[in-house]
Amino acid sequence: MWLLFAFGSALFAGMTSILAKIGIKNTDSNLATALRTIVVLLFSWLMVFIVGSQHTIDTITSRTLLFLVLSGAATGASWLCYFRALQLGTVNQVTPVDKSSTILTILLAFMFLGEVPTIFMGIGIVLLALGTFLMIQKKADSAESTGTKRRSWLIYALLSAIFAALTSILGKIGIQDIESNLGTAIRTVVVLVIAWGLYFSRRSIHK
């Protein structure tokens, strides 16, 4: 069953990249992240009430809440960097770098959670890293030949991958003693606060 949900996650993540690229052409990336978070927040809390886990809020420990907040902060940072990367680069440029978070997550899970990868997972990590490198090289060569200007998208894409990996590790620790939908909803509240806070702070600076 986990494989079905994982496949669904990959499918919707791919759709998110395309829709996001279309939606932020003429929109501030921070505003786009903030608006997107509202939609995610509504759906996440809807799921909480559908499964009835809102009644368990008072049982959340301070440790669980801390890691949920940290995971939410990492999620917010990842989304902000990802949207900015999409605004500066193409989907084909940004996505391979962003998805390298899979490699980082496996390595962090080994370091902090004691999850030892199998030999086949090790081979997969090497192949993923190699594939990501080759895709970046191809896009970089294409960019130089067509005179494409800046590549700051790469920095934001790398930061998006790093924060996404941290999200997975912190989220894993945070949702061990809480219903997963409720954990996601609480994390999304943190993301919403960060996204709108950054948007309004940037607006006040540029006034």
Q: Provide DSSP, 50-115.
A: HHTGGGGGGG--HHHHHHHHHHHHHHHHHHHHHHHHHHHS-HHHHHHHHTTHHHHHHHHHHHHS--
Higher pLDDT, 60 or 90: 60
Query: pLDDT at position 150, please?
Result: 56
Phi–psi pair at 26, nearest 5 degrees: -120, 30
Report the distance separating Cα 75 and Cα 114, nearest Å.
23
**Burial level of 69, CB count in 10 A (0-12/13-18/19+)?**
middle
Query: pLDDT at position 162, please?
Result: 93
Report the distance separating Cα 17 and Cα 202, nearest Å.
24
How does residue 114 score in pLDDT terms, banded at 50, 70 and 90? confident
Give the global pTM.
0.75
Higher pLDDT, 125 or 133: 125
List all residues 6 or more positions away from 113 whose beta carbon is below 8 Å from its beta carbon: 169, 172, 173
How does residue 96 score in pLDDT terms, banded at 50, 70 and 90? confident
- 93-105: average pLDDT: 85
Place of tokens 């890293």: 129
Report the distance separating Cα 81 and Cα 136, nearest Å.
18
Quick check: 106 pLDDT over 70? yes
Query: pLDDT at position 99, please?
Result: 81
- Supply the Cα-derived Rg of the chain in whole angstroms: 18
Query: pLDDT at position 6, please?
Result: 58
Report the distance separating Cα 153 and Cα 82, nearest Å.
9
Query: pLDDT at position 144, please?
Result: 47
Query: pLDDT at position 207, please?
Result: 54
Quick check: 39 pLDDT over 90? no
What digits encode the pLDDT tens for the residues 153-179? 889 999 999 999 999 898 888 877 888
C-alpha distances (whole Å) from 183 to each of 5, 54, 198 are 17, 10, 23
Quick check: 97 pLDDT over 80? yes
DSSP type of residue 175: T
C-alpha distances (whole Å) from 152 to each of 18, 85, 170 are 20, 8, 27
- 104-124: average pLDDT: 87
Query: pLDDT at position 73, please?
Result: 93
Check: CB of residue 71 under 8 Å from CB of residue 187. yes
Query: pLDDT at position 148, please?
Result: 46
Quick check: 81 pLDDT over 80? yes
